[in-house]
Structure 1
Amino acid sequence: MHPQSPLARQIQDERVEGVGKSVEQVAAEARETMEKNRICLVRGFPPDPDRYLEFLGRFGEPLMNYSSLSALEKTDPHPQINRVKYKRKVTGAQSVHYVAGGLRPHSARSWRSPRPSHFAMLMVEPGWREAPAGERGESVVLCWNELFTRLAERDGEVFERHFARLSGTPLTFEANNVREELSDLPLLYPLPDARGPYDVGVRLKQDLPAKVEAMGGRVPESEEYRESLAYLMEASADEAFFACFPLERGDLLLLDNHRFAHGRLRIVGEYEADGEVRSNNRELWSVTVH
């Protein structure tokens, strides 16, 4: 893990201070940072659903959350906000938002058409901080342009072959619990305002290899495609490429969903003390914006 990567430092150093400012003021400052960096940290934002959605409404349309579109239990603070909080599994299916394990970097609504433009996280309660580093639910972001540039330098023709295949093969896959219109874009797709050859949009789902495996021969050159996908999955899960830092209470992280993946290191979900099981009260509100 590299918590002091250049990108992690830049995100924190160029943060927007939200205390004492109107939503309009904070959004205006955040927009300037987004235009420059495609990612922005706002510090000191109130954990209020209405103000959170008002802020995000300046960047697009907040989408309905996963629970609203699925048969999973609905415990979210608003139909457009996903509550990410550890919850012990009892029976039946459980949302990924309730688990304690880490979440590998992935794209928001990777299956969806049209592609969502932004993804946001607001830390409401950071939870237990006495756990060792790497087990506190530290937030992870991955810049695709930076990753692909470094892979091109490291792997040369091998990278270029995988990059071309993942850029040139349309792919349609479904969510596990959500039903929305599906994209048929390649996993790596062009952007109209690209800043370089590797500045592309990426739609990556955590369990995508299993979905591609189930498609079998419906994917052109399926064996070679699975090889390229495995290359992408391995590289995107390599902590050497992560920008990683803990979000504090009132931290709002907004990112360009085309250009950045988001994830999380694992958290300690529960422990036993004096014969009583206690659960981590870490709570984060995430929203996908179109």
Structure 2
Amino acid sequence: MYADNPLAQVIQDEHVAGAGKSVEEIAAEAREVMEKNRICLVRDFPLDPDRYLDFLGHFGEPLMNYSSLSELEKTDPHPQINRVKYKKKAGGAQSVHYVAGGLRPHSARSWRSPRPSHFAMLMVEPGWREVPAGERGESIVVSWYDLFNRLAERDGEVFEEHFARLSTTPLTFEANNVREELSDLPLLYPLADARGPYDVGVRLKQDLRDKILGIQEQIPEFEAYQKSLHYLLDASADEQFFACFPMDGGDLLLIDNHRFAHGRLKIVGEYTVDGEARTNNRELWSVTVH
């Protein structure tokens, strides 16, 4: 199962210890891990918005968060931080950051040009741990490089056909609630420092399977492209390719947004104890970095 994915163990074994260190010291150690693995876990990072953004400033420019760019309710701790916390829907539009369901692996700001370089998650409150595994909001990451190499070995020419189509067809789509400059890159795009033919950037929206139906006029040979997209979506959602682990309070996960997808398993949002309704207090702060 995904819990046994070697990448999950590497991420945890090669973490940076943040306790008692300055932001500059933590960032310097994290940079070394990022250069090696393109992903880094920091343990015991201070739960402070300013220090979080200071740390991320060593890797680029933190972007304004979703709610500050949309008409959704704004309850975030800082204009550059998205609060991800379960919230019972009261009617009308609701941010994806408030739902209890799982989040399919996806790229941060998949629609945006230029492409953001990093994505970060800081666990503020891990929430209920007494619920069954797989329902605690465990974090998911998918390495595109590992995925594509495994698919190439497994599927051969079938994979090569899909990979070529997704690498050569420009695509433009919008966010649901945010308006930013839009990319016209293919879903799979080249990287200047690629380690091999399958080391590419990926911009994948969670709901692209449905979204693509509204933009099919811009896609040559749409049915063939749709088949290739479904192949990519199905593979990225296959748990055998997940690196998955629970994050504790103070855990900060920084990923290369070109090379990794991120998501989470579902959470139990609420239940009743002795007639009293309780709400899961799990809270995570996410930031996209350019």
TM-score over 0.5 for the pair: yes
Residue type at the aligned position of 2:141: V
- Secondary structure (helix, strand or coil) at the match of 1:165 reads helix
Q: What residue is the counterpart of 1:161 in the other structure? A: 161
- Measured in 2, the distance between the counterparts of 1:2 and 1:225 equals 29
Once the two structures are TM-superposed, the CA of residue 5 in structure 1 deviates from its matched residue by 1.2
Residue type at the aligned position of 1:144: W
Once the two structures are TM-superposed, the CA of residue 217 in structure 1 deviates from its matched residue by 2.8
Alignment RMSD (CA, Å): 0.6
Q: What residue is the counterpart of 2:196 in the other structure? A: 196
**Offset from partner CA, 1:199-246 (integer Å, 9 cap, x none):** 000000011121111123321110000000000000000000000000
Q: What residue is the counterpart of 1:91 in the other structure? A: 91
- Measured in 1, the distance between the counterparts of 2:20 and 2:3 equals 29
- Secondary structure (helix, strand or coil) at the match of 2:124 reads strand
TM-score after normalising by structure 1: 0.99
Q: What residue is the counterpart of 1:275 in the other structure? A: 275
Confirm or deny: 8 A CA contact 1:112 1:182 kept in the other structure.
Answer: yes
TM-score after normalising by structure 2: 0.99
Q: What residue is the counterpart of 1:51 in the other structure? A: 51
Q: Runs of 4 or more off by more than 2 Å in structure 1?
A: none
Query: How many pairs are equivalent?
Result: 290
**Offset from partner CA, 1:99-154 (integer Å, 9 cap, x none):** 00000100000000000000000000000000101000000000000000000000
Residue type at the aligned position of 2:47: P
- Measured in 1, the distance between the counterparts of 2:115 and 2:57 equals 17
Q: What residue is the counterpart of 1:31 in the other structure? A: 31
Alignment of 1:165-176 (within 5 A): 165-176=165-176
Alignment partner of 1:252 is 2:252: yes
Residue type at the aligned position of 2:276: E
Once the two structures are TM-superposed, the CA of residue 249 in structure 1 deviates from its matched residue by 0.5
Confirm or deny: 8 A CA contact 2:121 2:287 kept in the other structure.
Answer: yes
Confirm or deny: 8 A CA contact 1:212 1:219 kept in the other structure.
Answer: no
Once the two structures are TM-superposed, the CA of residue 277 in structure 1 deviates from its matched residue by 1.1
Confirm or deny: 8 A CA contact 2:108 2:257 kept in the other structure.
Answer: yes
Alignment partner of 1:109 is 2:109: yes
| Structure 2: unaligned runs, 5 residues or longer | none
Q: What residue is the counterpart of 2:229 in the other structure? A: 229
Greater alpha carbon shift after TM alignment, 207-216 vs 188-197: 207-216
Q: What residue is the counterpart of 2:2 in the other structure? A: 2
Residue type at the aligned position of 1:154: R
